[in-house]
Amino acid sequence: MKISVETKHVLIDLKTLQSFDINAYGRAAALIRELYDNQDTEAGQNLIDQLNIQGHNLNISPQMVGNSLRIQNERINRDLWRLKLWCVTADGKKSTEPYRFIYGFYPVSQFRRLPEIRIFAVPCRSREKDDSYDYEPDHSLSVRVRADYDAYE
């Protein structure tokens, strides 16, 4: 399986995250780089393969765990997913990261020799409910992700 990134929009999302939480920005950017750089290794492939297993808990590193889930309101027309992440402290306590990864899965087709996961967004999820993205279908980020998914197909 291959991993790719919708660079323009993901960079915008990362800049927003950087102004909100510089450390979370560093962890998000490092994870994207890790997935991309290691996709040709067995360990990297193993992690990428787990990204489209419904409700799956991933051990990303000793300091980070995640959970993959298909976005419910997109099930019929698109194969869109979210990855929720937690930082793990030395004593085992978890704290939710203030961002998610939103990505699409593309199976093998006549134009695609390998299945592919493409990251479309890294939305900031603040601790304040009023300004937190929560996958609403009419939210501008949801509209953007759907357009990017359809344009890439």
Q: Which residues pair with residue 112 across a beta bridge?
A: 109
- Say what the pTM is: 0.91
For the stretch 63-103, pLDDT in tens is 999 999 999 877 678 999 999 999 999 898 999 999 999 99
How does residue 110 score in pLDDT terms, banded at 50, 70 and 90?
confident
- Residue 109, pLDDT > 90, answer no
Count CA atoms within 13 Å of residue 81 on its CB side. 23
Cα distances (Å, whole numbers) of residue 136 to 48, 70, 72, 143: 26, 14, 10, 9
How does residue 136 score in pLDDT terms, banded at 50, 70 and 90?
confident
> Which residue, among 34, 31, 33, 39, has the nearest Cα to 64 in the 3D structure?
31
Token pair for residue 145?
């992700």
Report pLDDT for 128: 60
User: Coil, helix or strand for 121?
Assistant: strand
